[in-house]
A and B are shown apart, each in its own frame.
Chain A
């Protein structure tokens, strides 16, 4: 079930109403059943994959807690292997097999293993697998008690607002919340609804509107000029940001209405001022996952060896690339991003620009450069193939001549500019002028003007083609 569908509106109203009507002791069951229904609205049979992960990690958690020493580690490893195996089978088997076939072909051999066919990727697999893994890892580290109530643990993995595209939660933040009685609090419910409204605006008005242009350009790379690719890359950056952060907002808002607090997933990354800060503000739940469970353990082994530490940054981003998808374009994206962080680190340490440039200019230049670097990385992410990455890069660098594609009909180009400008203005105000408020204004008239304005804009220029959120595929 997509958030941007009428079915979801009905589902949300029914589940939320029942949630507040039912006594606290039955609410976990309602949420679990509704989460199952939500997930099964995609491909019902894949609930079994999810069930397998849940059962394995539920028992792994208890066994880890009960045991000590090598045995404890062994149970953790078994749980991680089980999770990674499922992920690899559905997500990476064909990718690795294709590459093996390619290599064997170079030496005139034929790969006897054929690709798996008839398997679609279970929706949100990477998200709930990582969330399940964070549970066993935290139990292993003693930061979380193993959950004895199976239904509550299942709900931790399956909680419908964040089931298919995050935020990837931690057990310490979520599990205790399912035990707490939730009251209907007007201010909290309204705050949640406002977050949902802004999430829908980002998805329907900005992301899906820009996707029309982006798809037209990236799906026909041979037809476009350098400046068109440049603009399309910029638009894609905004599109993916609004698509994913819009989803996160709807998830966070939906949970908030019922009284659950999910972690923040985006914190206006475009105003980070540096590449490193950008990644400290983008998809926080994933990158904190990689930081805590991959980078930190690796960094401990590096014993302050700087070269090793920087190499681990690149490795983490290469893994993050693979997490996004089984395609060399994602691996290239990860490699490029990791290297850009390393380059920035080295530049800052060696050149020490803060000595020569004021903080304000550092911030301005940093924001612009970060925008270009992450935009380029975004192009790697969006391109349909490695060949396209080279073609598009070359077209932008050489500014391949030709007219600027404005979309069809060309007047649509002004919608793209308008929505891009709207987003930049809103995020600028949120970052630097927090006193400027519309939806959260103290003045009733301003607040209602904000609600009506946003809803009117959604109706007038929102794209209602029911397109899937980009991150669902991961």
Chain B
């Protein structure tokens, strides 16, 4: 390298250094602003998540994917069972997500009943990958201060954790709009306790077929499911694992469902399958083929509550 070139390299490093300092300053300023918005005015999914891990107090907790979010109305549980209830379901999540928040919740509170809504592809690799992304978006804001979340992140998405440790705003990746508009647009009404009703119906044409031909269960996800069941069993918390109604072509079982049933059998826990319950097999109860609308959710919640009531009665000493 000539002297002139060395001089130019020095110039580049100087400019890069200035850029890095600017980046650091803006990262911390905007990051602090986002952190504040996240903690003080959480809305929608963030609100549900924050409630589940920071101040859980309800007697019944419902876990599951979007099928849980739209199908279980906590008000019906409370009215019928006389127990407070919260729906902490999350779109695109699976058992990886539920296990992480269950463990965090149990540090602060012990509910009486846990309802877990599972999907027919609950334990598959794809479901796990989506769930990891959802979980990452929810727990990265906590990893700087919460060791247990940091451990989960280290285990499930170490690369994301590194980035969040370096950049403060990265922890809020993809949450910026929710935080910016969240103050004005409330998706999760306070009274609905995590339940998001869907109105109307958009089903057209023939029922879609369902296949899991090429699916394999993901080992880590399966272990998490077992951990979820075992943790509740050890704490003597009643668990109901449910498949809520679907409106697709009938299928008998899937590799995920078979694995789930065998684990539940081992722990002597119930699996209630409403997937193709004829009482709900009507288009007017569904928003789309996988999600109940508000009419369907009301009926289904009432039916489930009545079954839980009967089960509790049956098992009373």
Is the A/B pair a real complex? Answer: yes
Q: Does A186 sit at the interface, judged by CB under 8 A?
A: yes
Q: How far is the CA of A402 from the CA of B288 in the complex (A)?
A: 10
Q: Do A401 and B159 have beta carbons less than 8 Å apart?
A: no
Q: Which residues of B contact A465 (CB under 8 A)?
A: 133
Q: Do B5 and A183 have beta carbons less than 8 Å apart?
A: yes
Q: How far is the CA of A452 from the CA of B25 in the complex (A)?
A: 10
Q: Does B11 sit at the interface, judged by CB under 8 A?
A: yes
Chain A proximity of B68: nearest CB distance (Å): 14
Give the interface segment out of B115-123, B168-176, B254-262.
Answer: B168-176
Chain A proximity of B64: nearest CB distance (Å): 14
Chain B proximity of A413: nearest CB distance (Å): 10
Q: Which of B22, B160, B204 contacts A400 (CB 8 A)?
A: B204
Q: Which residues of A contact B169 (CB under 8 A)?
A: 456, 459-460
Q: Which residues of A contact B22 (CB under 8 A)?
A: 448, 451-452
Q: Given the known A-B contacts A223-B208, A402-B204, A403-B202, are A462 and B5 also in contact in the complex, defined by CB atoms under 8 Å?
A: no
Q: How far is the CA of A466 from the CA of B12 in the complex (A)?
A: 29
Chain A proximity of B174: nearest CB distance (Å): 6
Q: How far is the CA of A452 from the CA of B19 in the complex (A)?
A: 7
Q: Do B27 and A184 have beta carbons less than 8 Å apart?
A: no
Q: Do B23 and A452 have beta carbons less than 8 Å apart?
A: yes
Q: Which residues of A contact B163 (CB under 8 A)?
A: 464
Q: Which of B1, B45, B92, B133 contacts A21 (CB 8 A)?
A: B1
Q: Which residues of B contact A185 (CB under 8 A)?
A: 8
Q: Which residues of B contact A452 (CB under 8 A)?
A: 19, 22-23, 26
Q: Does B66 sit at the interface, judged by CB under 8 A?
A: yes
Q: Do B91 and A409 have beta carbons less than 8 Å apart?
A: yes
* Residue of A whose beta carbon sits closest to that of B203: A402
Q: Which residues of A contact B200 (CB under 8 A)?
A: 403
Q: How far is the CA of A258 from the CA of B66 in the complex (A)?
A: 50
Q: How far is the CA of A220 from the CA of B204 in the complex (A)?
A: 14
Q: Given the known A-B contacts A225-B202, A464-B163, are A456 and B26 also in contact in the complex, defined by CB atoms under 8 Å?
A: yes
Q: Does A415 sit at the interface, judged by CB under 8 A?
A: yes
Q: Do A409 and B23 have beta carbons less than 8 Å apart?
A: no
Q: How far is the CA of A409 from the CA of B174 in the complex (A)?
A: 11
Within 8 A of A (CB), among B19-78: 19, 22-23, 26-27, 30, 44-45, 66
Chain B proximity of A191: nearest CB distance (Å): 12
Q: Does B167 sit at the interface, judged by CB under 8 A?
A: yes
Chain B proximity of A194: nearest CB distance (Å): 12
Write out, one digit per residue, whether chain A residues 379-401 have a CB within 8 A of any chain B CB (1) or not (0).
Answer: 00000000000000000000011
Q: Do B1 and A222 have beta carbons less than 8 Å apart?
A: no
Write out, one digit per residue, whether chain A residues 439-456 have a CB within 8 A of any chain B CB (1) or not (0).
Answer: 000000000100110011
Within 8 A of A (CB), among B247-289: 288-289
Q: Does A408 sit at the interface, judged by CB under 8 A?
A: yes
Q: Does A150 sit at the interface, judged by CB under 8 A?
A: no
Q: Which residues of A contact B178 (CB under 8 A)?
A: 409, 411
Q: Given the known A-B contacts A222-B208, A448-B19, A452-B19, are A464 and B160 also in contact in the complex, defined by CB atoms under 8 Å?
A: yes
Chain B proximity of A392: nearest CB distance (Å): 14
Q: Do B202 and A461 have beta carbons less than 8 Å apart?
A: no
Q: Do B1 and A6 have beta carbons less than 8 Å apart?
A: no
Q: Does B220 sit at the interface, judged by CB under 8 A?
A: no
Q: Do B204 and A460 have beta carbons less than 8 Å apart?
A: no
Q: Does B9 sit at the interface, judged by CB under 8 A?
A: yes
Q: How far is the CA of A185 from the CA of B7 in the complex (A)?
A: 10
Q: Do B27 and A456 have beta carbons less than 8 Å apart?
A: yes
Q: Does A40 sit at the interface, judged by CB under 8 A?
A: no
Q: Does A78 sit at the interface, judged by CB under 8 A?
A: no
* Residue of B whose beta carbon sits closest to that of A219: B126
Q: Do A451 and B26 have beta carbons less than 8 Å apart?
A: no
Chain B proximity of A254: nearest CB distance (Å): 16
Q: Which residues of A contact B9 (CB under 8 A)?
A: 20, 184
Q: Does A190 sit at the interface, judged by CB under 8 A?
A: yes
Q: Which residues of B contact A411 (CB under 8 A)?
A: 44, 177-178, 181
Q: Given the known A-B contacts A409-B44, A461-B176, are A455 and B23 also in contact in the complex, defined by CB atoms under 8 Å?
A: yes
Q: How far is the CA of A465 from the CA of B177 in the complex (A)?
A: 20
Chain A proximity of B230: nearest CB distance (Å): 30
* Residue of A whose beta carbon sits closest to that of B30: A456
Q: Does A414 sit at the interface, judged by CB under 8 A?
A: yes
Q: Does A189 sit at the interface, judged by CB under 8 A?
A: yes
* Residue of B whose beta carbon sits closest to that of A183: B5
Q: Given the known A-B contacts A408-B92, A459-B170, are A415 and B202 also in contact in the complex, defined by CB atoms under 8 Å?
A: no
Q: How far is the CA of A455 from the CA of B45 in the complex (A)?
A: 27
Q: Do A20 and B1 have beta carbons less than 8 Å apart?
A: yes
* Residue of B whose beta carbon sits closest to that of A221: B208
Q: Do B8 and A184 have beta carbons less than 8 Å apart?
A: yes
Q: Which residues of B contact A462 (CB under 8 A)?
A: 173
Q: How far is the CA of A353 from the CA of B164 in the complex (A)?
A: 56
Q: Given the known A-B contacts A402-B202, A414-B177, are A409 and B5 also in contact in the complex, defined by CB atoms under 8 Å?
A: no
Q: Which of B5, B133, B159, B173 contacts A20 (CB 8 A)?
A: B5
Chain B proximity of A172: nearest CB distance (Å): 28
Chain B proximity of A219: nearest CB distance (Å): 10
Q: Do B172 and A460 have beta carbons less than 8 Å apart?
A: yes
Q: Which residues of B contact A403 (CB under 8 A)?
A: 200, 202
Q: Which residues of A contact B170 (CB under 8 A)?
A: 459-460
8 closest pairs, A vs B, by CB?
Answer: A186-B8, A184-B5, A402-B202, A222-B208, A408-B91, A403-B202, A459-B170, A460-B176
List 15 interface pairs A-B (beta carbons < 8 Å), by A numbering: A6-B159, A20-B9, A183-B2, A185-B8, A186-B11, A222-B208, A223-B208, A225-B202, A225-B204, A448-B18, A452-B19, A456-B169, A460-B169, A460-B172, A461-B173
Residues of A participating in the B interface, judged by any CB pair closer than 8 Å? 6, 20-21, 183-186, 189-190, 222-223, 225, 400-403, 408-409, 411-412, 414-415, 418, 448, 451-452, 455-456, 459-466
Question: Given A461-B176, A465-B133, 12 more contacts at CB 8 Å?
Answer: A6-B159, A222-B205, A403-B202, A408-B66, A409-B91, A415-B177, A448-B22, A452-B22, A459-B173, A460-B174, A462-B173, A466-B159
